[in-house]
Amino acid sequence: MSETVGWRTVESVNELVFEVTQEADGGLCAECLTENIFTQGDSWEELCENVKEAVSAFFFDRPKPARIRLRLVRDEVLAAV
């Protein structure tokens, strides 16, 4: 899907996917898999707000995506029995 903005045609992004990881200090980091967007938060709620704010800033002059998907990645090491 594309949209004409001023003198140029801009491709619309339907959905952005972020990979979310928990840091050692307990905070959360989110990294977009398709664009150079990174943010963090101390709680899930704060992270969600920061992701929306970062996406809005990144797409300030282009159509914003319809959806933002957050994928929580959990890295856990188990002892071998």
The answer to whether residues 41 and 28 touch, using CB atoms and an 8 Å cutoff, is yes
User: Cα dist. 65→19, 31, 68 in Å?
Assistant: 16, 16, 7
Tens-digit pLDDT profile for the chain (81 aa)?
A: 454 445 554 556 799 999 999 998 889 999 999 999 999 999 999 999 999 999 999 999 999 999 999 999 987 889 998
Bridge-based pairing state of the strands 67-73 and 15-22: parallel
pLDDT of residue 76: 81
Provide the pLDDT for residue 55. Answer: 97
Here the tokens at position 61 are 């002059």
pLDDT of residue 5: 47
Cβ contacts of 64 within 8 Å, gap of 6 or more? 13, 55, 56
